[in-house]
Amino acid sequence: MQLVSDSSLNELRFALFDSGVGGFSVLVELANALAGFDFDFDPEIFYLADTARCPYGPKSEAQITGFVEQISKWYLGRKVNNFVMACNTSAAIASNKLRLWQECPVWDLINLTCNDEVLKYNKILVLATLATVNSKAFSNALQAAKPDLVVEELASGELVNIVETGDFSSINTRNVLKYYADYAVNNKFDAVIFGCTHFPFLIDQFRKYLPESSRIDLINPAKYLASQLGYKFKAKSGLSSGRSLRSASDYIKNTRFFTTGNPDNFAIQVNKFLNLSTDRIEYVDVQELEQCKVTVNSPNHHYINDLNIIPKFA
């Protein structure tokens, strides 16, 4: 347990969003990371699932940018002070714009993936949505850091639907996963990045289709969030604050969930993916979101871009 030493830090309100349940894979990592710190206040987490407009992957850049703009504005009223783009499609298309629209730090998993642990590989396969692949956001970011790295991005948006519907064991799902696993093996990749936040829920199953001798590493970018948060909340060694500490499941339990879809259905998904039984799902009408437009874009606007810090791994 690390006692947070930054006395100027007295409030943390994290805004997460995704097209659906994919961002739960990020929420879990965020909750795990926060549970490793001893704050003398209670950090809060908000999660908005834009279920009514899921999937984002096949949509145009203009549509995705519009969604991010609306969600960014919608969150302004909730006084959030850390944005976590729990949707890589949104990050690939609009993370830079979100950084202009928000004064607070914006965490995006694509930048977080460009770290020493990933850059040690020579040939990487990225599985992601069509919009992410078309944007080349992963290849551009990774190759900017290591120009001779071979990166291939493969549009695999059907995995989003598999996760959304919870169809983990059908023959179709098995065939799809086997196809991508064979592709990774036959083309001699060192690592596969699960570049859509829905996909890490399939990592264990995917692994079953790799031969036992395979040395291909499977990467969930969300796990790098914890190390980056570690840079932000500089730890002080010493005694604890004396408050009762929150576990990762406490953080998940206290998350405020919103959906543009059917709250009852979303509650079932929360239960299934997060093992949390709740009837406190709040409904957001898409029309309400569509009213949200960002108007502030001051040239004096400044924000802390934590992502300029590339984490170093021992």
* Window contacting ligand DGL (CB under 6 A); options: 16-24, 225-233, 261-269, 285-293: 16-24
Q: Which residue's entry shows tokens 């890490």?
A: 200
Using the minimum distance from each CB to ligand DGL, give the nearer residue, 82 or 90: 90
- Name the residue nearer to ligand DGL (CB basis): 46 or 56: 56
Q: What is the CA radius of gyration of the chain?
A: 19
- φ, ψ (nearest 5 deg) of residue 29: -70, -40
Nearest CA-CA partner of 248 in 81, 44, 29, 82:
29
Q: How far apart are CA 144 and CA 137, in angstroms?
A: 11
Nearer to ligand DGL, 196 or 270 (CB): 196
Is residue 55 a contact point for ligand DGL (CB under 6 A)? yes
Strand partners of residue 45: 14
Strands (E), the chain: 2-4, 13-18, 37-38, 44-49, 82-85, 106-108, 123-128, 150-155, 191-194, 217-219, 235-236, 256-259, 281-283
Residue 157 touching ligand DGL (CB under 6 A): yes
| Shortest Cβ 286–ligand DGL spacing (Å) | 15
Q: Which of 29, 126, 151, 198 is the binder for ligand DGL (CB under 6 A)? A: 198
Candidates 171-179, 185-193, 195-203, 236-244 — which segment interacts with ligand DGL by CB under 6 A? 195-203
Are 31 and 252 contacting, i.e. CB atoms less than 8 angstroms apart?
A: yes
From the list 87-95, 146-154, 184-192, 255-263, the region that binds ligand DGL by CB under 6 A is 87-95
Site for ligand DGL in 121-150 (CB under 6 A): 129, 132
Given 82, 113, 156, 197, the residue binding ligand DGL (CB under 6 A): 197
Q: Which of 15, 160, 218, 284: binder of ligand DGL (CB under 6 A)? A: 160
Q: What is the CB neighbour count within 10 angstroms for residue 284?
A: 19
Instruction: Please tell me whether residue 14 binds ligand DGL under the rule CB under 6 A.
Output: no
Contact 37, 66 (CB under 8 A): no
Burial 39-54 (b: 16+ CB within 10 A, else e): beeebbbbbbbbbebb
Of the listed pieces 62-70, 193-201, 283-291, 298-306, which binds ligand DGL according to CB under 6 A? 193-201
- Which residue in 4, 16, 17, 22 binds ligand DGL (CB under 6 A)? 22
Nearest CB to ligand DGL, comparing residues 158 and 190: 158
Tell me the number of residues near ligand DGL by CB under 6 A.
Answer: 17
**Smallest distance, Å, CB 254 to ligand DGL?**
23
Select from 166, 252, 153, 151 the least CA-distant residue to 205: 166
Query: Which one of 17, 24, 56, 74 is in contact with ligand DGL (CB under 6 A)?
Result: 56
Per the CB < 8 A criterion, the answer to whether 25 and 222 are in contact is yes
- By CB under 6 A, name the binding residues for ligand DGL: 18-19, 22, 54-57, 87-89, 129, 132, 157, 160, 196-198
